[in-house]
A = this chain, B = another copy of it.
Amino acid sequence: MNWLLIFIPVAFGLEHEHAAPTITFATSALAILPLAALMGKATEALAHYLGPHFGGMLCGSMGNAPELIIGIAALNHGLIDMLKSSIAGAIIGNLLFGLGLSMFAGGIKRGTQSFDGRVISIHSALLVLGTLSLIVPSVFHVAADTDRELSLHISVTLLIIYAAGILHILLNERAAVTDSHQSVIDDVALEQRRAADIEGVPGLSLDRVADLEEKPAWGRNTALAVLACVASTLAMLSDILTGSVQPAADAMHLNPVFAGVFLLALIGNIPEYLNAYTFARKDQMTLALSINLGATTQLVLLVAPVLVICGAAMELDMNLLFNNFELVAILLSVTVTRTLIANNRTTWFEGLLLMGLYTVLGFGFYYLPKS
């Protein structure tokens, strides 16, 4: 994917030349993809030197850094409604498109695939709780003057729940380590339990932890330097991206909700979809599902609340109010995903069903009025 880095100077050049917004948008979106992947790699290298506990936490919390950076850039441009649409769109896209693609591609190659239901049921529960909390402000929206306060209070509650989730996993991991001193005979069982426990952290996916035990590609100082470099480039590109999304949508005759839900939402998440896709083709569905559901949970419990708090700090009118279409689409996505994974097996046909619902929702959003 590194060859896509060529788009970085192109994006800056187009921006400087005031090129057509559609071109600028597409170029900056393409340039962001390899940066998001590099950021993940640098974080993992850094995590190696921090040890499993704090390293795991870092990986978990940095996984959605590209979304956060893009989100803050959108706040800077005052694109509040489009930012909220992109949060909704990321939930829908992760669950229907990302998961559907993994299940479809894995199923085509491997037939019916199974996964560890105990691991996934934790993600699934957190996801339901998080998304349902997220829609509370929209439901209780009665007087515009309390929307911001309500959203702020709920954001803080969600962050506390996220922190408790991190604590939950640190305690469990420590218990698992202590257990391992006592006996080594039930190694397999222990391994499974550790795996399950680690999975329990929203957004902390097994693959990253596995990577922690390998020799990282970079030394500590190199990793820090790469991270700083990538983050600042990402911030500048996000500025170009979010500055061009509205004119690009207008040029393509798309309504802004569609642009937020189906264009802006996908950009930060494509590396994760590719990751999950790769694991699905390798028949590692537990991993593929937990990357996807973990990222979605974290989006809800960490990214969205942090953006609300940032918005309040920037004295913007940022809140957690979604429009009815976004609300229903979020609820449908969560319901259908939970239903299809309830039997601990996936098939290409179930993947197709998820992508089918994504298409159906796409038609719905596409035909929304422009104004």
The residues of A with any CB-CB pair to B shorter than 8 Å are 117-118, 121, 124-126, 128-129, 132-133, 136-137, 139-140, 142-143, 146, 149-150, 153-154, 157-158, 160-161, 164-165, 168, 324-325, 328, 332, 335-336, 338-340, 342-343, 347-350, 352-353, 356-357, 359-361, 363-365, 367-369
Contact = CB atoms under 8 A, between A and B. Distances in A.
Contacts of A356: 129, 133, 157-158, 160-161
A168 B342 CA distance: 20
Given A139-B328, A160-B356, A328-B139, A129 B364 contact: no
Q: Top 7 A-B pairs ranked by shortest CB distance?
A: A140-B364, A146-B367, A168-B349, A153-B363, A121-B343, A128-B339, A139-B328
Nearest to A167: B349
Contacts of A357: 129, 132-133
B149 A336 contact: no
A41 to B, nearest CB: 31
B164 A369 contact: no
Contact of A139 (B117, B364, B369): B364
A292 B168 CA distance: 25
18 contacts: A117-B343, A121-B342, A125-B350, A128-B335, A128-B339, A132-B332, A133-B356, A136-B360, A136-B361, A136-B363, A139-B325, A142-B368, A143-B367, A146-B367, A150-B363, A153-B363, A164-B352, A168-B347
Given A139-B328, A353-B161, A365-B140, A132 B335 contact: yes
A364 B137 contact: yes
A342 to B, nearest CB: 7
Contacts of A336: 128-129, 132
A358 to B, nearest CB: 10
Highest count of chain B CB atoms <10 Å: which of A124, A146, A160, A360: A360
Given A139-B325, A154-B363, 13 more contacts: A125-B339, A125-B343, A125-B350, A129-B339, A133-B360, A136-B360, A136-B364, A143-B367, A149-B367, A150-B364, A154-B360, A158-B360, A164-B352
